[in-house]
Amino acid sequence: MELHLYDTLSREKRRFEPIDPANVRMYVCGPTVYDFAHIGNARPVIVFDVLFRLLRHIYGEKHVTYVRNITDVDDKINARALHDYPNLPLNDAIRKVTETTASQFQADAEALGCLAPTHQPRATEFVLPRSDGRADMKSLVQELLDRDHAYLTLGNEGREILFDVSSMSDYGALSKRKLEEQIPGARVAVDSHKMNAEDFVLWKESGSRDPGWQGEFRPNPKSGYYTEFRISPENAARLQLNSPVVAIHGRPGWHIECSAMSAAYLGEIFDIHGGGLDLIFPHHENEIAQSRCAHGTRAMANFWMHNGFLQVEGEKMSKSLGNFFTIHELLEGRSFGNRSWDGPVLRLAMLMTHYRQPIDWTVARLKAADDLLTSWMRLVADLPVTDLHTPPSPQLIEALADDLNSAEAIQLISHLAKSADSQVKRTELLGNLVFMGLVPDPARSAEIFDKAIGLFASLQSKHAENMRKLSADYEERSKYAGPGVKLGDLSSTKRTLEDFRTLNELIERRLAARSRKDFLESDRLRGEALAMGFVLKDSKGTQGEPLTTWEVAR
Residue stretches of the annotated binding site for Zn(2+):
29, 258, 283, 287
Dist. CA 47–CA 59, nearest whole Å: 18
What is the torsional sign of CA 48, 380, 337, 37? negative
Q: Characterize 250-283 residue by residue with b for buried, 16 or more Cβ atoms within 10 angstroms of its Cβ, and e for exposed.
A: bbbbbbbbbbbbbbbbbbbbbbbbbbbeebbbbb
Dist. CA 67–CA 58, nearest whole Å: 18
Q: Which DSSP category does 442 fall into?
A: T
Binding residues are: 29, 258, 283, 287, 319
Dist. CA 346–CA 110, nearest whole Å: 12
Dist. CA 137–CA 126, nearest whole Å: 6
Dist. CA 304–CA 11, nearest whole Å: 10
Burial of residue 416, with CB atoms counted within 10 A of its CB: 0-12 exposed, 13-18 middle, 19 or more buried: buried
Q: Which DSSP category does 135 fall into?
A: -
- In which element (H, E) is residue 47 found? helix 39-59
Binding residues for ATP are: 319
Helix axes 254-266, 285-295, angle to 10 degrees: 60
Dist. CA 246–CA 112, nearest whole Å: 47
Cα–Cα–Cα angle for 39, 44, 50, rounded to 5 degrees: 120
Q: Which DSSP category does 267 fall into?
A: -
Shortest CA distance to 153 belongs to which of 78, 90, 203, 89? 203
Dist. CA 30–CA 325, nearest whole Å: 18
Peptide bond before 89: cis, by omega within 30 degrees of 0? Answer: no
Residues 310-319: contacts with CB within 8 Å, 24+ apart?
Answer: 310/39, 310/40, 310/43, 310/358, 310/359, 310/361, 311/358, 311/359, 311/360, 311/361, 312/39, 312/360, 312/361, 312/362, 313/360, 313/361, 313/362, 313/363, 314/360, 314/362, 317/38, 317/39, 317/40, 317/361
End-to-end CA distance of the chain: 51
